Amino acid sequence: MQLDTKMLKKWMIYSTSALWVCFFQSPLMAQNISPGALEPEREVPMLPDIVDDNIVYVPPVAARPVDADSGPVINVQKFVVTYDEPELIASEQINNINNLVNDYLLGSDKNFNLTELDDLTFLVTENLRESGLMLAKAILPAQEIESGAVAIHVFVGKFGDINSDANLLYSDSVIQYPFKNVIGDAVNLEFVESKLLRLSDMPGFTATAVFKPGNEVGETALTVKAVNEDPVSYFIQADNHGVESTGDARLLLGVKVNNITGHIDQLSVDTVKTFSPGDLRNARVTYQITHPNLVHTFGLGFSKTSYDVEDVAVLALGIEGDTEIGEMFINSQWIRQRNVNLATRLGLAVKRSNVDFTSFNVEQGVDRLTVLEASVVADSVDTRFRGVHRGSLTFSHGFNDVLGSMDGQGNGESLGIVNGEQALPGQFNKVSASYSRLQSVVRNNSLLFHFNGQYSDDSLSSLERMSLGGPYTVRAYPVAEYVRDTAVFTSLSWVINGGVFSDGNAYGEYSWSDILSLSVFADYGWGKLKDANGGPTSSIEIAGWGVETELTFPNIGGFARFSAAKPFDGSEAANGENTQYWLSVGLNL
């Protein structure tokens, strides 16, 4: 009897579908070999970078006079404050200065020597500079005093010229563009800092501001000076942060080429390669270009991951897969200040992942997604309570039948299983949020709190699920111990700075505070799958504790990080270990 080829193919697909459900969707396998779980994880900064105190040099106020008994005594009935550019001073600030000089007069016997009058000009100058007018200066002009009226004149300090210096990577026009409309405006500290921070956000560039006397009285010339330029930067990292079934030992390489076209752009390429057991190859290319106003950045990216699963439980199936993700995005930095930042991101991504059973010569299925993502990120420095924090909120929407995405039935070939069928819709909604805070407690000691989670009322492709376990979530469990539609991760760490051991330098100009940190942490994770998606729907909880040490070598851009963690209940993870060890070493060149 001749075997019907179509029936045979159909039987093979059903058989491998059953194997897919048994192996990939079972608690025993912990879902750690689904395509989303196998996507390489990369570290994302939880907190903003520390801003250099010397990014803007503020000229000091002249020292207060100390000889309070010098000079003739003058009877003063009132102070008259005038400004060289009164239109540049807010009326509220003028009122504050008037109140200050009036209070100074009322608190005296109205008899002042020249030193005491100079002391008042010092207070006026200090008040104006604290309000942000960083170059303001009050003086006692030469005058003949009539009817006890003493004049105080204020130079507001305004922009007279803009220059740039020591810049090779970026042109003068690019560096001076953010200040193009400021000539004649008052020099405001917050404004200058914001522009310098935006300039220092340009790829491979760091700048500082230098002020010099202008050509006219009351004017200043601002020079933006390049202090660091990197046309090309590299990084190399080795760690054990991979999924065991496709190789937990990883080598990461990357290069960034800055300002390729001369229009504030960057091309970055990075790769990940894992080693036995298993084999995973990932490459990612991103190009982004920033508008001269330094607010909006447009980018394009593409990544491809290919892998062979060599977990002993499924080795006979010959599982291979690949995932491709293409995206375009617009990042907008709406607020950029030393202590407060606000940014948004709007992106559109097209994703495809497929899995093949090479032993059966059968393609198990394909997930095709088109996802619109909108997010907001804010961070600030809490100067009152000595803390730094950052939070983000993201909304993601998947579409049916848009740019090749799956229809409402998964095109009948989805990797995701719904009610036992390959019918995962392309449409979904998902909300993700994160929050981190570093809280100083006492000298060289701080608390680090981190939260990350997502919620969806839809069945999700593994590419959209949240992973629990690994060095970036619950460290007492392997990478992607569980992958869930809705999940929460929280962590609390006690961080001890190296300065607690010694105030001296460890080597060169770097202290132990710059080099060493130790921490004790506790992690918690919770997750749940959407009902009827072919997997366990009951929620899972995992938690553990551990210790971590990190060494940083600023002069060579090197680091080494080691941590060990175990579950609170002492249980074994899916890899049969009751303690997980994480190691990462790297160089940024």
Amino acid at the residue 347: G
* pLDDT at position 60: 67
Strand, coil or helix: what is 483? strand
Q: Which secondary-structure segment (H or E) carries 294?
A: none
* pLDDT at position 65: 55
The CA angle 264-268-274, to the nearest 5 degrees, is: 165
What are the two backbone dihedrals, phi and then psi, of residue 318, each rounded to the nearest 5 degrees? 65, 50
What span, in angstroms and rounded, lies between the C-alpha atoms of 388 and 438?
Answer: 5
- Which pair of structure tokens corresponds to residue 401? 């039948």
Strands 580-588 vs 249-258: parallel, antiparallel or unpaired: unpaired
Does residue 294 lie within any of the structural domains?
no
CB under 8 Å to 496, separation ≥6 — which residues? Answer: 444, 445, 517, 518, 519
Query: What's the number of CA atoms in the CB half-sphere (13 Å) around residue 59?
Result: 17
* pLDDT at position 518: 97
- Give burial (CB, 10 Å; 0-12/13-18/19+) of 210: middle
Does residue 215 lie within any of the structural domains?
no
* pLDDT at position 227: 94
Q: Which of 186, 162, 188, 183 is nearest to 85 (CA)?
A: 186
Describe the strand order of the beta sheet including 149-155 as a list of residue ranges. Answer: 78-83, 149-155, 137-139
Does residue 408 lie within any of the structural domains?
yes
Claim: this prediction has a pTM higher than 0.85? yes
What span, in angstroms and rounded, lies between the C-alpha atoms of 346 and 352?
Answer: 20
What span, in angstroms and rounded, lies between the C-alpha atoms of 534 and 421?
Answer: 8
The CA angle 195-197-198, to the nearest 5 degrees, is: 65
* pLDDT at position 28: 40
Q: Beta partners for 83? A: 154
**Is the dihedral angle over the CA atoms 116, 120, 121, 127 positive or is it negative?**
positive
Does residue 193 lie within any of the structural domains?
no
What span, in angstroms and rounded, lies between the C-alpha atoms of 450 and 183?
Answer: 44
What is the chain's pLDDT, residue by residue, as a tens digit (589 residues)?
A: 444 544 544 444 445 554 544 444 444 443 467 888 889 998 888 888 887 777 776 666 655 555 556 678 889 999 999 999 999 999 999 999 999 999 999 999 999 998 899 999 999 999 999 999 999 999 999 888 888 999 999 999 999 999 999 999 999 999 999 998 999 999 999 999 999 999 999 999 999 999 988 888 889 999 999 999 999 999 999 999 999 889 999 999 999 999 999 999 999 999 999 997 778 999 999 999 999 999 999 999 999 999 988 877 777 778 889 999 999 999 999 999 999 999 999 999 999 999 988 777 777 889 999 999 999 999 999 989 999 999 999 999 999 999 999 999 989 899 888 887 888 999 999 999 999 999 999 999 999 999 999 999 999 999 999 999 999 999 999 999 999 999 999 999 999 998 888 888 878 888 898 899 999 999 999 999 987 554 556 789 999 999 999 999 988 899 999 999 999 998 888 888 999 999 999 999 9
CATH number at residue 320: 2.40.160
What are the two backbone dihedrals, phi and then psi, of residue 96, each rounded to the nearest 5 degrees? -60, -40
Taking residue 301's Cβ as centre, other Cβ atoms within 10 Å add up to 17
Task: State how far Cα 44 lies from the chain centre.
Answer: 7
What span, in angstroms and rounded, lies between the C-alpha atoms of 461 and 422?
Answer: 11
Beta strands per DSSP E along 241-316: 249-258, 265-275, 279-290, 296-308
What span, in angstroms and rounded, lies between the C-alpha atoms of 224 and 226?
Answer: 7
What are the two backbone dihedrals, phi and then psi, of residue 192, each rounded to the nearest 5 degrees? -65, -45
Q: Which of 552, 548, 570 is nearest to 494 (CA)?
A: 548
- Which pair of structure tokens corresponds to residue 52? 């250099």
Q: What is the dihedral of CA 474, 478, 484, 486, to 10 degrees?
A: 10
What span, in angstroms and rounded, lies between the C-alpha atoms of 315 and 359?
Answer: 10
Q: What b/e sequence results for 245-268 when a residue is b if at least 16 CB atoms lie within 10 Å of its CB, and e otherwise?
A: bbbbbbebebebbbbeeeebbbbb
Q: Which of 544, 530, 554 is nearest to 430 (CA)?
A: 530
CB under 8 Å to 198, separation ≥6 — which residues? Answer: 178, 294, 295, 333, 336
Q: Which secondary-structure segment (H or E) carries 21?
A: helix 5-24
Q: Which of 569, 415, 476 is nearest to 17 (CA)?
A: 415
- Which pair of structure tokens corresponds to residue 112? 């002042």
Does residue 207 lie within any of the structural domains?
no
- Give burial (CB, 10 Å; 0-12/13-18/19+) of 66: exposed
Does residue 123 lie within any of the structural domains?
no
| Domain encompassing residue 419 | 5-53+310-588
- Give burial (CB, 10 Å; 0-12/13-18/19+) of 105: middle
CB 274 within 8 A of CB 247: yes
Number of domains in the chain: 1
- Which pair of structure tokens corresponds to residue 506? 């460890």
Does residue 40 lie within any of the structural domains?
yes
Q: Beta partners for 79? A: 150
Calculate the alpha carbon distances from 369 to 82, 406, 463, 464, 494 in Å.
66, 6, 9, 10, 40
CB 108 within 8 A of CB 120: no
Amino acid at the residue 164: S
Strand, coil or helix: what is 198? helix
- Which pair of structure tokens corresponds to residue 507? 């080597």
Does residue 245 lie within any of the structural domains?
no
Q: Which secondary-structure segment (H or E) carries 121?
A: helix 114-130
